[in-house]
Amino acid sequence: MPVQRKTQNPEYWEKEFTVTSEDLQYLSNLLVEDELPRSTEELAGALIVQRCREEDAMIKRALAQGTLYRPRNSYVVGERVVFPLLDYRVGEVVGIRPGRNPEYGPFSVIQVKFDKGRVREFAAEFLADHPLNRENGNATENLLSPDELVAIYSARVGKLLEERLESEPDFVRLGGKWFRRDLLVEIHAGHLNLVEAMLDMAGGGPLPTEALLGDLELPNEISPQLRLFSLNYALQEDERFDEVGPAGEILWFLRSMEPAAVRSVPPHLRYRPEKYEHRLLTSEMLALEKDLDDEWSDLEPPATVTEPVTYVLTYPHRISGTLPLSSRLSRIFPTGRTQRIRFTLVDADTGMEMPAWVVREGRYVYGLEEWYETYHVPVGAYIELMHGEQPGIVKLRLQNRRPRREWIRVALPVEGRLTFEMRKQMIPCAYDELMILAGEDSAAMEAVWARVQRERISLKQLIAEIFPELAKLSPQGTVHAATLYSAVNVALRTPPGPMLAELVSSGLYSPVGDNYWVLRGKV
């Protein structure tokens, strides 16, 4: 009869397993022994292995206390019997009587008394076929090893363990690793002031923790890993410092020396969410929404992207010196645990390097002001982005960088309202004809933005102002939705969804195919 092990049963790990106080004590001792912070995955694996050890020890103790139960065996009063199917409980035989079931022939029934006085009955001298009678002893050749159990169940155990550790004040996590709070190295105010000075001398950063640790003179008897973890935790808890490293790397920056556009969202990128009926959007409109790939559209990020990824620059990002952290571009830019991530942008054609920032809460990437100005990048320009050869590097280039004069759409604000003309302008690169938009007077363009914010002009009102002005540029009076999206975002930050829904619901505009619209009555 095989020895029954809970740890070999998938249901145990998937439904019954919970993290106990004893488990936390074991993990605490594990962290103390080698002074090494450990990840959730490492702790979950250690816990699974420990549960296997505990089960082995329990089985050995139980088997030493009595006879392993088999239905075919005979027993005597006073004999102690071990029952694997009852979690190896041990009971004493207190009575024996004949069994009665013609189907199975003669057999006995033993009465077994367990702890707390409970008596249960079991078959004995039962010679019929029964799984517990089969001769395979205590064979373990078919058992999964602890390492195999870790590979199968560590994700499930890790999820439960993480939930428990997050609620335990005695444990702290940093950079995906856990340690005991009371065992951290003391980092006092003097240490933190010295770190602040080092970062200040480095222009704010970023610097790795190892570079900051050298001058702090922490006790040498403490392991290097624990010293790093303790300093990282202390910096994390001090609002002067910002952890800005990409995934797998911890870098520190002085928050006070971060660019203003990193510490707070630039005005032109601030989106006031609009409630709208998404069901009004046709499949054609949804395809356009996906193609425009606005960072505030509710789009599922693709699993992979083909590089280079091409983005069409919009006015809010041009004026803010940013790029969107949109569904496609989010696959190119670095990810990390923190809200702000420092990395480097490199012009693939010139080698020009730009310190840049992923600002996750604002859904944008900052650091392109100088590049936009140097190359006179217009709204509507095609920008290609791709991963660099090294982590933390993203390459970009203007598509087809060959200056030429072209007839394009130019915004000419009048008293805080947008009007448009077609004029010949020098364009330095390839561009989207539907999205291209130049502005000759930056102060007048800002006046449009300021008026809309000051008077709290609604999206509906803004579309009603801009649409007729754009329609004048076409002999047919048509306006493409992408063109309207580009123009509206000069004055009000909005993704295409609410704008498209407004075109459908307002009753003022009529679709004429291919995402072109006309004023109703002009068809």
Q: Tell me the pLDDT tens digit for each residue of 361-401.
A: 999 999 999 999 999 999 999 999 999 988 889 999 999 98
More confident position, 495 or 228:
495
Tokens at 300, concatenated: 């599922």
Residue-level pLDDT at 449: 95
Annotate 347-372 with DSSP letters as a single string: ETTT--EEEEEEETTTTEEE--HHHH
Q: Is residue 135 over pLDDT 70?
A: no
Q: pLDDT-derived band of residue 523, with 50, 70 and 90 as boundaries?
A: low
Query: Considering Cα of 127, then 128, then 131, then 137, what sign does the dihedral take?
Result: positive
Q: Tell me the pLDDT tens digit for each residue of 250-276.
A: 899 999 999 999 999 999 999 988 889
Domain 294-398 has CATH 2.40.330.10: yes
CA 439-440-445 angle, 5° bins:
55
Alpha-carbon distance of 229 to 242, in angstroms, equals: 15
Q: What would the mean pLDDT of 282-289 be, rounded to a whole number?
A: 96
CA 83-88-90 angle, 5° bins:
70
Given a contact cutoff of 8 angstroms between Cβ atoms, the answer to whether 384 and 308 are in contact is: yes
Residue-level pLDDT at 493: 97
Taking 3-state DSSP, the helix, strand and coil percentages for the chain, each rounded to the nearest 5, stand at 40, 25, 40
More confident position, 124 or 102:
124
Nearest to 363 by CA among 328, 315, 319, 387: 328
Residue type, 140: T
Q: pLDDT-derived band of residue 437, with 50, 70 and 90 as boundaries?
A: very high
Kindly state the helix (H) or strand (E) to which residue 61 belongs, with its residue range.
Answer: helix 40-63
Q: Is residue 521 over pLDDT 90?
A: no
Domain ranges of the chain: 1-178, 184-258, 294-398, 404-519
Alpha-carbon distance of 19 to 14, in angstroms, equals: 13
Lowest model confidence (mean pLDDT) among 15-19, 45-49, 85-89, 474-478 = 85-89
Given a contact cutoff of 8 angstroms between Cβ atoms, the answer to whether 437 and 312 are in contact is: no
The CATH code of domain 184-258 reads 1.10.10
Tokens at 130, concatenated: 């029964």
Return all residues near 216 (Cβ < 8 A) that are at least 6 apart. Answer: 187, 191, 194, 195, 231
Tokens at 67, concatenated: 């006879």
Residue type, 111: Q
Tokens at 134, concatenated: 């089969």
Q: Tell me the pLDDT tens digit for each residue of 87-103.
A: 778 888 889 988 888 78
Alpha-carbon distance of 172 to 177, in angstroms, equals: 8
More confident position, 459 or 141:
459
Alpha-carbon distance of 26 to 55, in angstroms, equals: 15
- Burial of 442-458, coded b for 16+ CB within 10 Å and e otherwise, reads eebbbbbbeebeeeebe
More confident position, 522 or 122:
122
Lowest model confidence (mean pLDDT) among 196-200, 221-225, 344-348 = 221-225
Annotate 154-180 with DSSP letters as a single string: HHHHHHHHHHHHHT-TTEEEETTEEEE
Q: Tell me the pLDDT tens digit for each residue of 26-67.
A: 999 999 887 889 999 999 999 999 999 988 888 888 778 888
